[in-house]
Amino acid sequence: MATGIIAEYNPFHKGHKYHIDKTKKITNDDIVAIISGNFVQRGEPAMTDKHTRTKMALLNGVSMVLELPVEYATGSADVFARGAVGILNSCGIIKQISFGSEKGNTDAFEKTAVLLNNEPGNFKMLIKKHLNTGLSYPLARNKALEDYFGESLDFLNKPNNILALEYIRQIKRLNSNIKPLTIERIVSQYNSTILSGEISSASAIRAAIMDKNDSALNSVPHNCTELLRNNKIPALNDYSHILSYILRTGTPEEISKYADITEGLENRIINCSFKNISDLINSIKTKRYTYTKLQRAILHIILEITKEDQKKEPQYIRILGFRRDKKYLLSELIEKASLPVVTNVKKNEKLLKREITASDIYNILRDNEKGTEYTAPMVIL
């Protein structure tokens, strides 16, 4: 049996290393990480490809790395969690999920998860009341929770805590035997854009690396620094011409089917003139349509990920890499998994069709050939 970690490692840094080491110390388990592929939850291309990030994880205490399919990896917190927890639950070898949060225990998450999984009518009315003030759904839901419980729940405004809540909700939804384990975050805030020494946020490290600030590498394990040097970092703005083509050739009805396109948002997007994607987002964002939500919506248009795609339960378990000395995990996974275990792309083209296309789109910006899903080998250290 093993402990699962849900992550992006975009990029892998010393805070991630701390989380892995702390989890191993508490559980004495092998770590199976499930990570986003070439696109991440903020609605952006990952700064390094998934095989590089898999190697970083395996070099720093992870025994096996699985892939979170792109339709979940680019989704809102509930979609992201449903895909990740669903896959880990289907593995048959995961006894608990360890995640970072600003809380040192799961008690506050547990009672909130129970309510959200069984929303009473008066709670739904509270959400509607706050939505009518123009708030985004996440903020309206948080306000409704505070009204319902009669106490401050400001910890739910932090991204890691939002994900922690969704992980626990999915564990309960699936009636899973997996147990939640939270490791309190240290030093740096999730979205901080300022480097803070040994432990900095992934956001700060990405920003510094893009600014050619080598001090960012002080926050990265030494065995990962060379993997980040001279890395060509793709940006969502680089897909602006692709988006423009899709919007000019598509109808509002066609655009409306994509994930995160809600409440007539397709018309605001199609009718807006823009130079690049950032320009478009800044022109149409409101209190309800946050910058990150709009990034996700636009990425879903580019990748043709629909609302229906995100409603489906996971269909497979894909292994991106493992350590040779942990190969027994592969045998155990194949024996106990309730979903197909994928190690060969060619033999599973139908299952991986969306992932193959997403990687080809990702690699347009990295000057890589088409078909890297077929040619990039599984990472084995």
Whether the pLDDT of residue 27 is over 80: the answer is yes
Question: What number of residues does the chain have?
Answer: 381
Q: Residues with Cβ < 8 Å from 230, sequence gap 6 or more?
A: none
Instruction: Please tell me the predicted confidence (pLDDT) of residue 215.
Output: 86
Instruction: Please tell me the predicted confidence (pLDDT) of residue 263.
Output: 85
101 - beta bridge partners? Answer: 184
Question: What is the C-alpha to C-alpha distance for residues 110 and 115, in angstroms, rounded to an integer?
Answer: 9
Q: Residues with Cβ < 8 Å from 13, sequence gap 6 or more?
A: 199, 200, 202, 205, 219, 220, 221
Whether the pLDDT of residue 191 is over 80: the answer is no
Binned at pLDDT 50, 70 and 90, residue 230 comes out as: confident
Instruction: Please tell me the predicted confidence (pLDDT) of residue 216.
Output: 87
pLDDT tens, residue by residue, 11-20: 999 999 999 9
Choose between 54 and 203: higher pLDDT.
Answer: 54
Whether the pLDDT of residue 209 is over 90: the answer is no
pLDDT tens, residue by residue, 309-360: 999 999 999 999 999 999 999 999 999 999 999 999 999 999 999 999 999 9
Which percentage of the chain shows pLDDT scores above 70? 98
Q: Which helix or strand (DSSP H or E) is residue 295 part of?
A: helix 291-303
Average pLDDT over residues 258-262: 96
pTM score of the predicted model? 0.95
Mean confidence (pLDDT) of the chain:
93
Q: Residues with Cβ < 8 Å from 320, sequence gap 6 or more?
A: 35, 50, 51, 54, 65, 66, 67, 378, 379
Instruction: Please tell me the predicted confidence (pLDDT) of residue 186.
Output: 73
Instruction: Please tell me the predicted confidence (pLDDT) of residue 193.
Output: 64
What residue has token string 């910006």? 365
Instruction: Please tell me the predicted confidence (pLDDT) of residue 187.
Output: 56
Whether the pLDDT of residue 192 is over 70: the answer is no
